Amino acid sequence: MKSNKKLAVWMPVIVAVAFVIGLYIGANLFKNGPEWNTRVKIGEIMDLISDQYVDEVNTDSILEASIPDILAKLDPHTVYIPASELQGTNEALDGSFGGIGVVFTMMNDTATVMEVVSGGPAEKVGVLAGDRIVTVNDSIVAGIKLDSESLRKKLKGPKGSSVLIGIKRSNSSELLSFDVVRGDIPVNAVDASYMIRPGIGYIRINKFGRTTYMEFMNAMVSLRAEGARKIILDLRGNTGGYMEPAILMANEFLGVGMPIVSTHGRTGNIESDFSGDGQGAFGDTELVVVIDEGSASASEIFAGAIQDNDRGLIVGRRSFGKGLVQRQIELPDSSAIRLTTARYYTPSGRCIQKPYTLGSAEDYELEIYTRFDKGEGFSADSIKVDTTKIYSTASGRTVYGGGGIMPDVYVASDTAGITPYYIKVFNAGMLHRYAFLFTDINRDALTSATSVLELMDMLPQDEILLNEFIEFARTEGNIPPRWYYINISRDLIVRQLKSLIASDVLGQPALFEVSNEGDPAIMRAIQELKQGNAVAPITGKPQK
């Protein structure tokens, strides 16, 4: 009630100041005319509020609260980042953060270590997967309903500082203490890299950060050494990041002079223009790029460069459609604005930015759900392309602008096995809980496995695993069996249980090794490569 009263008092002030700041930002960012009067108005209004407003208010706080609302009147990708959030926002793309190097999950109000980052601080002092974190710096963190983010904040801190954690381990009756010195923890962009079939390598990339290009190159070199001459590059759900890694990756597949991407600012003039330098290491590699509605920005730059140069095959569903370039401008108080300064264009000249209305960020984000409502996720015939924006690839194939990258080979969203029973056990977290419990009980035996193949041979038969899970969901989640639906969801449930167990035992890459075997888009990518449909030799001639 108190918070609502405060909001009622502050709202008229925030709205008024937001209007004035809007005039100020408009004058400074988007007009060339005099700014003196607008600045005077802002100062006068702030003085009036400070001197005469009925309640005492912090005008700096009002301004801070108003900035996001002002920027929300622009395009959906121009945003304000408060100083308190800037470091965390940058960490995800910069490739490291200060911490102890564990992946944990909250189980029964206690954080259980699921994975210890190789080479990280926690591994160096002996923390193991399966350990329960009971105390942090002598403060109890178990059994008190502490959420994951609060515990994460306790574990993170300045590099070089120490944190004392108390651990409960299954083979010890005493609480174990570990003094961990916080350090840089790699934030990997490559989720998985392995030989999915003889001669075919698979790489999944989750973002385009500062380390993405080097991680990609390491994965490619390793796969080539194992005999991969064909590659599946999985960019589904990759929302982008920095443009430079996408350009560098595309260059590895393209010939000299082959265009990659260009950016145009407000006047329409080319601000930057990137083409292949002829030094790429993988010009002879057959390539399939897998995308979906979650692939955006830098993912679309890479996919667009490959598609427009006819250099590989794009498989999946239409990408998000983000063709705007942001520049992050840090302000004197260590906050920042990510300001849209240009549009990017693929080699054929198309901008794949989907339509938007200024100030309509919510509608813009909901567009993905609208696609599925109209059937686009399940039928290629439901996709509506903008026939006023027609372009041609290097070989003359027709492609469209104005709404994402259209795949060369459409693969519908996989709904096989999705039933009311599956949705209920999934939403209740039963799959994850059972997989963790199974792993925890059998950890000593399972950790002897050195590969996914070895691990799968150690698991119970599918029927046994399924029945044990159904009983677990009944007793622990109060979810009764519904056999009609269970029989439909059988394969999906078993595959997900196996992939989660593999992740718990061998780490996240193993999850994809298991789950990919039932993934229609990946299976189609393998088929296209085997049939030679992704062959596109480099001619070395630039596109005209």
Which residues are catalytic, by number? 297, 308, 322
Q: How far apart are CA 322 and CA 401, in angstroms?
A: 11
Rg (alpha carbons) of the chain, rounded to whole number: 26
Q: How far apart are CA 38 and CA 30, in angstroms?
A: 14
Q: How far apart are CA 397 and CA 121, in angstroms?
A: 52
8 Å CB contact between 123 and 100: no
DSSP codes of every residue in 405-456: PPPSEE-----TT--HHHHHHHHTTHHHHHHHHHHHHTHHHHTT--SHHHHH
190-220 b/e (C-beta count within 10 Å ≥ 16 → b): bbbbbebeeebbbbbbbbbbbbbbebbeebb
DSSP codes of every residue in 141-202: -SSS---HHHHHHHH--STT-EEEEEEE-TT-SSPEEEEEE-EEEE--SEEEEEEEETTEEE
8 Å CB contact between 316 and 521: yes
Token representation of residue 458:
């150690």
Cα-based distances in Å from 293 to 28, 235, 317, 436, 534: 35, 10, 6, 30, 22
Cα-based distances in Å from 10 to 156, 416, 417: 34, 50, 50
8 Å CB contact between 404 and 300: yes
- The one-letter amino acid code at 91 reads E
8 Å CB contact between 175 and 205: no
28-54 b/e (C-beta count within 10 Å ≥ 16 → b): eeeeeeeeeebeeebeebbeebeeeee
- 107, 111, 113, 119: CA torsion to nearest 10: 160
Q: How far apart are CA 276 and CA 258, in angstroms?
A: 5
Token representation of residue 407:
């795949």
The overall longest dimension of the chain from CA atoms, in Å, is 77
Residue identified by tokens 């193949």 is 453
